[in-house]
Amino acid sequence: MKSNRNYPLLLASQFLGALGDNAILAVIVGQLTLLQKAGEITSDELRTRSTIYTSILFIPYILLAPLAGYLNDRYAKTAWLAGGNFVKLLGTGLCALSIWFGYIWQAPGYFLVGIGATVYGPAKYGILPEILPRERLVKANGMVELLTLLAILTGAIVGSVMVDQLPVGTCYLILAGIFGASLVLNLFMERTASDKNVVLRQSVGEFLAHFRALFAGPRLGKVLVGTALFWVCGATMKINFQAWGLDVLKLPDNTQIALLGLWLSVGVMAGSITAGKLLAVSDLSRTRRYGVLLAAMLLAVFAVEPLGLQHLGKHLIEKAGPDGTMKTALVILPVVMGLLIGSGFAAGLFLIPLNASLQAESDPNKLGKTIAVQNFCDNLGMVIAGLLVFVCVKAHLSASQVFLVLAVMVAGVLGWLKFPALVKGEAKV
């Protein structure tokens, strides 16, 4: 019998967990902004450290993806929901040691948070068929995705506001409370079943075999490259926003920098909705054009600094601080906002047809494995994004020039990424 309480508890736990994942990164990276403004680190040091810390979360997804799938198939998924949040809580405590023993402690702490997110991820989707009737699964998946996106946006802003306004110790105390609340919600869920027949070697072998089969096919391997390219772009922009916001846009604090990601996400949502209305499933005939549009928008973002576009229509809203002095409360950059929304819109148009094709053209009986392979590829793309920014910093390229390099890379991949037509009756992988 399906539980009536597990689904709402899952939704609430997922929102809090995803909010915490993004808020803790904002707190860690936000401290770098404060250090640079205090003259304790240089701009290049800020960019290098920001790249490293942002990439740390994705590494466990790559290293532990097959193991995480096995654990969630073998043992109760409710146990791994709680286990993931418990590991995140431990990671937050390790990050807090940085208050006494140095900033470096946040690296292993955030890596632990990444491990928690890795084991939590498969459980949040895999548990749905176990707690809901089949006819509710599509809406339930959509609700989980919606809450995750809201949590990503909210978490980045909440974490930025916290690190701007509160002592670091207080920030970590609040984060521990968020992960702790998510854990408590998991503990109130009714335990789901385990499966003693799942074997580690077999589970990992099936993952690797399906990975090879997808990339051996004429279309789906290229679809996976396309979705990974989307995440390369998104992660590169997110990593680069901090230095770009400080050096080029002259934004005053972490909160203002976090809003850059908000405008990009608004564009992605608008592009995703538009793609759903314009395109039929498995129609990839215009996908490369949308990729070219994305590359063009990235070039436009690069052009902001050399053309001085950040000054067009710039408006400052100020408010009195506690000491009575006027401080910048909000910086409005209409051209920058428009370009970021446009970039996100093109990215959404590019991504959604690829996601839909992957789901429609995969063997329904292996869709879970297909999504696991996609998650692996997407997280690998985000690690590549970190390496891209790192190389650009070491090559002494400016934050604006990173967008130029990204645009050239997107154009280069699109030159190779030609999707063959779908053959009717073609075997599904």
Query: Per-residue pLDDT tens for 89-114?
Result: 999 999 999 999 988 899 999 999 99
Q: In a 3-state reduction of DSSP, which class is residue 279? A: coil
Phi, psi of 189 (to 5 degrees): -75, 145
Q: What is the rounded average pLDDT for all residues in the chain?
A: 89
Cα–Cα distance, 338 to 321 (Å, whole number) = 30
pLDDT of residue 321: 64
Per-residue model confidence (pLDDT) at position 3: 56
- CATH 1.20.1250.20 range(s) for the chain read 1-198, 203-429
Three-class SS state of 247: helix
Whether domain 203-429 has CATH 3.30.420.40: the reply is no
pLDDT digits (tens, 9 = 90+) for 274-298: 887 887 777 888 899 999 999 999 9
- Does the pLDDT of residue 257 top 80, yes or no? yes
Extract the tokens encoding 123: 């459980």
> With 80 as the cut, is the pLDDT of residue 246 above it?
yes
How much is the pTM? 0.88
Residue 2 has pLDDT above 90, yes or no: no
User: What pLDDT is recorded for position 389?
Assistant: 96
| CATH classification number, 1-198, choose in 3.40.50.720, 3.90.420.10, 1.20.1250.20, 1.10.3720.10 | 1.20.1250.20
Burial 243-265 (b: 16+ CB within 10 A, else e): bbbbbebebbbbbbbbbbbbbbb
**What percent of the chain stands above pLDDT 70?**
95
Q: Residue 386's pLDDT is what?
A: 95
Q: Is 377's pLDDT higher than 80? A: yes
Is residue 353 within 8 Å of 287, Cβ to Cβ?
A: yes
Q: What is the pLDDT of residues 121-170, one digit of tens each?
A: 878 877 888 888 877 776 787 688 778 888 988 999 999 999 999 999 99
Residue keyed to tokens 């879970």: 368
CA–CA distance, 31 with 168 (Å, rounded to integer): 8
List of residues 6+ apart from 323 with CB closer than 8 A: none
Asked whether residue 414 carries a pLDDT value surpassing 60, the answer given is: yes
User: 368 pLDDT exceeds 80?
Assistant: no
Task: Express each pLDDT in 5-57 by its tens digit.
Answer: 899 999 999 999 999 999 999 999 999 999 998 899 999 999 999 999 999 98
Percent pLDDT > 90 in the chain is 60
With 50 as the cut, is the pLDDT of residue 69 above it?
A: yes
What is the reported pLDDT for 275? 86
